[in-house]
Amino acid sequence: NAGVMQNPRHLVRRRGQEARLRCSPMKGHSHVYWYRQLPEEGLKFMVYLQKENIIDESGMPKERFSAEFPKEGPSILRIQQVVRGDSAAYFCASSEGLHHIQYFGAGTRLSVL
C-alpha cells in the first residue's frame, strides 16, 4: 500500500512565478490536508479537503494560494506570483476519515530565488 506521494520533492522558482505542488493520498484515504513548515518551526495547518470540496481553508493566505482535490487525480496546492517568504517545506497528509490518524508525505521543499 503506497504511502502519501508528493511531487516534486524539490521545487525552485523565481519571484513572480507559479508553484504547483501535487499530493496523491494513500489508497482508500479521502481526506487530504496541507501544512507548511518554516525552518526550525512546527507545521502550520493550511487547508483540509475532501474530493471536490474544500472543507476548511482557515490556514490559507487569502491571496495567491489555492488548493483543490478533483474527482480524479491528485490534490494540488497552487501558489501564484511566489515571493521569497513562500520558501518552506509543504507537507501533505491524508487520512481515512475525519478522526483518523493523518499520514504525511515526504514533502515538497520550495525555494524562491
Partner 1 sequence: GQQVMQIPQYQHVQEGEDFTTYCNSSTTLSNIQWYKQRPGGHPVFLIQLVKSGEVKKQKRLTFQFGEAKKNSSLHITATQTTDVGTYFCAVSTRGGGSNYKLTFGKGTLLTVNP
Footprint on this chain of partner 1 (rule: CB under 8 A): 33, 35, 40-45, 48, 55-56, 58-59, 91, 93, 98-99, 101-107
Q: Which is nearer to partner 1, 48 or 65 (CB)?
A: 48
CB of 43 to partner 1, least distance (A): 5
Residue closer to partner 1 by CB (options 33, 86) is 33
Q: Which conformational region is residue 96 in: left (phi greater than 0), alpha (psi within -120 to 50 degrees), or beta? A: alpha
Name the DSSP class of 86.
G
The smaller minimum CB distance to partner 1, of residues 59 and 74, is found at 59
Q: How far is the CB of 62 from partner 1 (least distance, A)?
A: 15
Q: Are 33 and 6 in contact (CB under 8 A)?
A: no
CA-CA distance, 86 to 71, in Å (whole number)?
28
Cβ–Cβ < 8 Å for 20, 86? no
